[in-house]
């Protein structure tokens, strides 16, 4: 059986035969490769810890009882307090069909846009940056570009650990054609250790570096004047904004020679791909960072051509599919736009929906603030564990404890399901049926190859059942994921005579058998924008005049910067990976990494217990003294939670700071203090 890996946004094809998992040699993302997480997937198919039956108030109930109660509670809250008093919080683990059903119910039928997902923690700044520059949320290139580039710039991306199969492709390119690899990251990560050039910039220094690069392209006469003139708007202002700043190597925290080398390589290498990930997105100026990167590629005309382009690496397996169906609170389905009245009217008509909100809903952080404040009185959380994964997770737990009605659907018990009134057992990988979209816009099937344990059901079914019980049976008559996919595909072609590039309407009439058999396909083609054709009204891309972010206020009480990130062998809050022995071997416990200089200054030795405190909480972990850390900075993996350690959840240390445009939390820059216990 061919299916797709459920972990990261690379979206590797997987074959499962007699319980043995191997890479799908025919899948365009991985050509048979798998990383350790993918290759140990079979070990996650252990049902011993699964949620098996619906419960209400801790008591086992039937699906009918659970869904009747949920529908009655949601309907009562809406009747008494209006549609914005309820919310859905979903996940990049959703299949596209799950996302579509949830989004349609909330936006079209409940009449609120209060649906957001954990993709807000992952890629929201890239979505906002793409829309500002291209008029639509589009990744212009494809994975083959990694192998066709002469220079790969990895910005804020520990690709070797977080997208391992793509990093293997990068190393293969280096072996085959001498591709140079530059890593921009404050830490000397596993990726940086293998780079030709590592730029350990100060935290949040990316905007400054790419502004400096734009001025260097201009000074060295590397602007593609024809591309800029024919296909873009706003270059002069963007360049002037960049030139306003004097950005030196010292201000970036790197050596003069390294900055010179980077600028020289970039200016002299037409075939350049800039891959970026959470180090760019998870920032209080993440959207500007994204646009600073897009600006240099537009200015040099290096976009949509073999081996050239800006390339956002998606963290989650289906964050891209979620973006296609409008899974975020500020999106509509099929790349339609809230601010466009025609789009809203068309969507309402297509869905035969009684109502459609005119404005975006609550983004993740605001959503849980609204729960805590009592403005949201009923919330449905699915396939994610915000009680441990969101910033200020202790506050999220308090919000859920105070919320009058919480439904949580998941495969495994989590801190979130513990706080829910109704807990629903969800079908998981290998049991669910649907589609996912990876970072290069390739839509692949996830196919079931085993029965869901107990009474577990897929999320699309739960939302469909909820909708029917809330009075919308006719518009939620789906009996299988193929029904939803066909509707989603048909919608993408509506009112879209080239207005939006996302268009899969050619698959709107697929038979069930053709849907089952559907091979991976890339919407929009492999590459976009080499000859312009952006999704703006005038078809021109926009340069953004990006300003340097204001310096972060520092407080003597919190002199360190806490940076959080992922480990190679773990995933999210470890509900799946934390129980696979092979995945626990490389890092069996969490730690705080700090530099030898800081350790010496505070008389800290390896393994000493450290209390790291921020304005939002504290945690106690062993010290790991690492040459890979810059002085003044601490790193902790964000996976560890109360379920896996006695020291507290790392995410409770992260504050509410976020990008003002995308709403994405700044999980890589939290002022902190360090105390040896």
Which residues of the chain form contacts with ligand SF4 (CB under 6 A)? 5, 7-8, 10-12, 30, 34-35, 37-38, 163-165
Identity of the residue, 40 or 645, whose beta carbon is nearer to ligand SF4 in the bound complex = 40
What is the β-pairing status of strands 633-637 and 560-565?
A: parallel
Query: Smallest distance from the beta carbon of 400 to ligand SF4, in angstroms?
Result: 29
Shortest Å distance, C-beta 467 to ligand SF4: 31
| Residue (290 or 583) nearer to ligand SF4, CB | 583
CB of 524 to ligand SF4, least distance (A): 21
Residue with smaller CB distance to ligand SF4, 30 or 384: 30
Cα gap 355→671, rounded to integer Å: 44
Residue 602 and residue 668 in contact, taking contact as beta carbons nearer than 8 Å:
no
Q: Measure the CA–CA gap between 664 and 126, rounded to whole angstroms.
A: 10
Could you count the other beta carbons within 10 Å of the beta carbon of residue 663?
25
Q: Which DSSP helix (H) or strand (E) runs through 617?
A: strand 617-625
Dihedral angle, C-alpha 541, 547, 548, 550, nearest 10 °: -130
Q: How far is the CB of 133 from ligand SF4 (least distance, A)?
A: 27
Our CA angle for 575, 576, 581, nearest 5°, is 110
The residue (of 444 and 613) whose beta carbon lies closer to ligand SF4 is: 444
Comparison of 10 and 382: residue with beta carbon closer to ligand SF4: 10
CB 45, min distance to ligand SF4, A: 15
Distances in Å between the alpha carbon of 29 and those of 8, 91, 210, 485? 12, 22, 29, 22
Name the residue with the smallest CB distance to ligand SF4: 38
Q: Token pair of 576, please?
A: 């799946």
Nearest to 478 by CA among 519, 434, 444: 434
> What is the nearest approach in angstroms of ligand SF4 to the Cβ of residue 12?
3
**At its nearest, how many Å lie between ligand SF4 and the CB of residue 287?**
25
State the Cα–Cα distance between residues 634 and 670, nearest whole angstrom: 10
| DSSP secondary structure of 383-423 | S--HHHHSSSHHHHHHHHHH-SEEEEEESS--HHHHT-SEE
Using CA atoms, how far residue 204 sits from 102, 251, 283, 294, 514, in Å, is: 35, 12, 7, 17, 47
C-alpha 421/C-alpha 407 separation (Å) is: 6
Residue among 25 and 451 whose Cβ is closer to ligand SF4? 25
Q: Which is nearer to ligand SF4, 96 or 287 (CB)?
A: 96
Contact 227, 295 (CB under 8 A): no
Smallest gap from residue 38 Cβ to ligand SF4 (A): 2
As measured in angstroms, the least distance from the Cβ of 576 to ligand SF4 is 11
Task: Please work out, in degrees rounded to the nearest 5, the angle formed at the alpha carbon of residue 217 by the alpha carbons of 212 and 220.
Answer: 120
If the CB atoms of residues 38 and 663 are measured against ligand SF4, the closer one turns out to be: 38
Of residues 300 and 577, the one with the C-beta less far from ligand SF4? 577
Q: How far is the CB of 568 from ligand SF4 (least distance, A)?
A: 9
- Residues ≥6 apart with Cβ < 8 Å to 250: 256
Query: Quick one: 30 or 330, whose CB is closer to ligand SF4?
Result: 30
Question: Pairing between strand 560-565 and 670-676?
Answer: antiparallel
Please answer whether residues 549 and 284 qualify as being in contact, where contact means their C-beta atoms are separated by less than 8 angstroms: yes
Kindly tell me which of 30 and 207 has the beta carbon lying closer to ligand SF4.
Answer: 30
Q: How far is the CB of 163 from ligand SF4 (least distance, A)?
A: 6
DSSP result, 152-200: EEEES--HHHHSHHHHHHHHHHHHHH--EEEEE-SS--HHHHT-SEEE-
Q: Nearest approach, Cβ of 11 to ligand SF4 (angstroms)?
A: 6
Check if the beta carbon of residue 205 is closer than 8 Å to that of residue 669: no
Residue 34 or 376 with smaller CB distance to ligand SF4: 34
């Amino acid at each position: 059986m061919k299916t797709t890996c459920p972990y990261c946004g690379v979206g590797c094809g997987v074959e499962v035969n007699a319980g043995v998992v191997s890479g799908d040699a025919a899948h365009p993302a991985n050509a048979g490769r798998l990383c350790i997480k993918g290759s140990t997937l079979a070990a996650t198919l252990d049902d011993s810890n699964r949620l098996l039956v619906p419960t209400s108030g801790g008591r086992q109930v039937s699906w009918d009882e659970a869904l009747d109660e949920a529908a009655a509670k949601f309907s009562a809250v809406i009747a008494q307090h209006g549609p914005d008093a309820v919310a859905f919080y979903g996940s990049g683990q959703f299949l596209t069909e799950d996302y579509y059903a949830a989004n349609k119910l909330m936006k079209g039928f409940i009449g609120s846009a209060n649906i957001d997902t954990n993709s807000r923690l992952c890629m929201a700044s890239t979505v906002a940056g793409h829309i500002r520059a291209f008029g639509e949320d589009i990744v212009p290139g494809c994975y083959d570009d990694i192998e066709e580039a002469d220079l790969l710039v990895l910005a804020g991306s520990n690709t070797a650990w977080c997208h391992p199969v793509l990093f293997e492709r990068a190393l293969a390119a280096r072996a085959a054609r001498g591709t140079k690899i530059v890593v921009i990251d404050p830490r000397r990560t596993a990726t940086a250790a293998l780079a030709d050039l590592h730029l350990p910039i100060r935290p949040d220094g990316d905007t400054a570096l790419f502004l400096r690069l734009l001025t260097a392209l201009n000074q060295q006469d590397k602007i593609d004047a024809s591309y800029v003139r024919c296909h873009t708007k706003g270059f002069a202002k963007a360049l002037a904004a960049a030139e306003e700043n004097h950005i030196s190597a010292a201000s970036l925290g790197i050596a003069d020679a390294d900055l010179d080398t980077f600028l020289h390589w970039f200016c002299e290498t037409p075939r350049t791909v800039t891959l970026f990930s959470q180090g760019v997105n998870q920032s209080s100026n993440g959207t500007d960072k994204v646009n600073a990167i897009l600006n240099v590629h537009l200015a040099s005309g290096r976009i949509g051509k073999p081996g050239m382009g800006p390339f956002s690496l998606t963290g989650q397996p289906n964050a891209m599919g979620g973006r296609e169906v409008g899974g975020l609170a500020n999106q509509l389905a099929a790349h339609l736009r809230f601010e466009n009245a025609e789009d809203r009217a068309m969507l309402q008509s297509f869905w035969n929906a009684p109502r459609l909100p005119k404005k975006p809903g609550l983004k993740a952080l605001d959503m849980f603030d609204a729960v805590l404040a009592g403005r949201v009185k009923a919330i449905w959380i699915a396939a994610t564990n915000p009680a441990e994964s969101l910033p200020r997770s202790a506050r999220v737990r308090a919000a859920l404890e105070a919320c009058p009605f919480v439904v949580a659907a998941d495969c495994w018990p989590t801190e979130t399901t513990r706080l829910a009134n109704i807990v629903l057992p969800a079908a998981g990988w290998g049991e669910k049926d649907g589609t996912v979209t990876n970072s290069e816009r390739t839509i692949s099937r996830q196919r079931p190859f085993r029965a869901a344990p107990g009474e577990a059901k897929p999320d699309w079914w739960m939302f469909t059942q909820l909708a029917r019980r809330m009075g919308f049976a006719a518009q939620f008559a789906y009996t299988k994921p193929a029904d939803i996919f066909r509707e989603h595909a048909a919608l993408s072609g509506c009112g879209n005579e080239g207005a939006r590039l996302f268009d899969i309407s050619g698959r709107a009439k697929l038979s069930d058998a053709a849907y089952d058999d559907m091979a991976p396909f890339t919407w929009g083609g492999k590459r976009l924008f080499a000859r312009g054709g952006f999704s703006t009204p005038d078809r021109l891309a926009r340069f953004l005049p990006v300003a340097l972010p204001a310096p972060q206020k520092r407080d003597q009480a919190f002199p360190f910067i806490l940076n959080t990130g992922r480990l190679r062998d773990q995933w999210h809050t470890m509900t799946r990976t934390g129980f696979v022995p092979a995945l626990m071997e490389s890092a069996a416990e969490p730690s705080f990494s700090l530099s030898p200089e800081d350790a010496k200054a505070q008389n800290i030795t390896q393994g000493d217990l450290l209390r790291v405190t921020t304005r939002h909480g504290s945690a106690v972990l062993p010290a790991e003294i690492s040459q890979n850390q810059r002085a003044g900075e601490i790193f902790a993996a964000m996976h560890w939670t109360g379920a896996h350690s006695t020291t507290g959840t790392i995410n409770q240390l992260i504050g509410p700071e976020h990008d003002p445009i995308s709403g994405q939390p700044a999980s890589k820059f939290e002022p902190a203090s360090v105390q040896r216990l």
